[in-house]
Structure 1
Amino acid sequence: MKIFISADIEGTAGILNWNEAEHGHADYAEFRALMTAEVLAACEGARAAGATEILIKDAHDTGRNLMLDPLPAYASIIRGWPGHPDSMMFGLDASFQAALCTGYHSKAGTEDNPLAHTSNLRISRLILNGEVASEFTMNALCAARYKVPVAFIAGDAGICAEARTMVPGIATVETLQGFGAASRAISPAAARIAISEGVEKALSGASLPAPVTLPEQFEVVVEYNNPVDAYRASWYPGAKSHGPRAVAFTASDFFEIQRALRFMNS
């Protein structure tokens, strides 16, 4: 059984401040280690369920966050960003039985996590087919392109609730709940136990969740905080201005949406 893990950091148990998520800050080392520990817990759970091969995408910021030496021999890792539109799901293909998400966070414009955002801090909202979308939204649809189900997610309460609505049957571990600039989190030790057990149970069940159904048509609207970013993005082929700070793009193939966002959000 081949398993793919997309690992972020802003939904790691206990995280609160951007200094804890960014290279160069003294607080980062602790949360880099905690992010790694949650990924290791997911690997252990997958292995217990019968996984023989695990591919991990380090999917936060620089793509150089996870500590390498603790990774098990049956896992491999993609670090950095090749520029491919699959982005946080790069490396996934149809040969995988399931995808897992760790350290995931709520979408921009919500209050479930002080670090809530979508893709980057220049975006105020990402709207897909009339609904405000998260990174999980886009990544679950990316997995659906390969007909791979997303079977598990660990992250803040908001993104777990969203995942349960989008993917009926998905297993979730809620690591924290935001309250303005504060949060309440479970302990890292409790998170690791819950992630390991949750992944094992999710992958050992009689059936996995179905891959998300891809709509026949897509319209993505990117609302930026700064009109300068909207103007620049409007020059992507097929993109159109959608108000003073927003750009819209339509396509029938979700990969074309991913490709557009790859350039419009850079």
Structure 2
Amino acid sequence: MKVFISADIEGVTGATNWNETDKAHADYTEYREQMTAEVAAACEGALSAGATEIVVKDAHWTGRNLIASKLPRAVRLIRSWTLDPYSMMAGLDETFQAALMIGYHSRSGSDASPLAHTLTDRVVYVKINDRDASEFLINAYTAGWLAVPVVFLSGDAGICRDAQDFLPALSTVAVMEGVGDATSSIHPGLAVERIRSSVETALRGDVSRCRVTMPPHFTSEVYFRLHTNARQASFFPGARLARPHVVQFEADDYFEVLRFFMFGISMTAG
């Protein structure tokens, strides 16, 4: 069994403030270590379930957060960015039997996490087919486009609820809950235990139940904080400026949506 893991940091146990996710601050070290511990736990659960190959994409900010020496030897780690539309799912292809997401967080426009956002702080919201889009949703559709089941997610309680609403068969572990500008978290060691156990259980089950159904057509909408960013993004081929802050893009092929997100959102001037 070949397993793919996409790992973020804003949804690891206890992460509450942006300083804790930023290499420039002393607080970052503790949460880098917790991110590594939670990813390692997911890897160990996958290996216990029979995984023979695991690829981990370090998918937070610089893409250089995980401490490689603390991961199981069977893991292949992708660091930094491949600069293609797969983004947080870089390295995934049709040969994988399952995808897992660790340390994920609530979407832009949500009050479920002090660190809620989608892709960048430049946007107020992202929608796909009228559904408010989290990074989980964007990446789950990427897995669905490649016919890879998404079997597990850990993060804050808000993203766990949203993810299971979209994909009911998905297994989740909520390690904390956002309350205003605060979080209420379980013990970091307990989070590691639950992730390891839940990943093993999920992968021993019928992963085919976690295949993402792909719509025949996609309509994406991005509300930018600055109208200047929206204007710039509207020049992406096929995009249109629906309102001064809002850009829309439609396609049948989801990869074209990912291409729009890459060039229309990630590369707009801040």
Q: Provide TM-score, normalisation by structure 1.
A: 0.98
What is the alpha-carbon distance in structure 2 between the residues aligned to residue 22 and residue 208 of structure 1? Answer: 37
Alignment match, 1:81: 81
What is the alpha-carbon distance in structure 2 between the residues aligned to residue 64 and residue 99 of structure 1? Answer: 20
Q: Secondary structure at the match of 2:193?
A: helix
What is the alpha-carbon distance in structure 1 between the residues aligned to residue 28 and residue 206 of structure 2? Answer: 39
Alignment match, 2:145: 145
Alignment match, 2:114: 114
Alignment match, 2:7: 7
1:187-240 per-residue CA deviation (whole Å, 9 max, x = no partner) reads 110100000000000001244433111111111011011111111111111110
What is the alpha-carbon distance in structure 1 between the residues aligned to residue 4 and residue 88 of structure 2? Answer: 11
1:129 aligns with 2:129: yes
Q: Secondary structure at the match of 2:56?
A: strand
Q: Which amino acid is the alignment partner of residue 248 of structure 2?
A: A
The question of whether the paired residues in 2 share the 8 Å contact of 1:19 and 1:25 is answered with: yes
1:90-139 per-residue CA deviation (whole Å, 9 max, x = no partner) reads 10011111000000000000011100000010011001111111110010
1:59-106 per-residue CA deviation (whole Å, 9 max, x = no partner) reads 000100101111211100111111110111110011111000000000
What is the alpha-carbon distance in structure 1 between the residues aligned to residue 207 and residue 182 of structure 2? Answer: 38
% identical equivalent positions: 48
Alignment match, 1:212: 212
What is the alpha-carbon distance in structure 2 between the residues aligned to residue 210 and residue 38 of structure 1? Answer: 22
- Following superposition of structure 1 onto structure 2, how do residues 226-237 of structure 1 map, counting pairs within 5 Å? 226-237=226-237
Residues paired across the two proteins, number: 266
Alignment match, 2:175: 175
The question of whether the paired residues in 2 share the 8 Å contact of 1:42 and 1:195 is answered with: yes
The question of whether the paired residues in 2 share the 8 Å contact of 1:150 and 1:209 is answered with: no
What is the alpha-carbon distance in structure 2 between the residues aligned to residue 210 and residue 33 of structure 1? Answer: 29
Alignment match, 1:54: 54
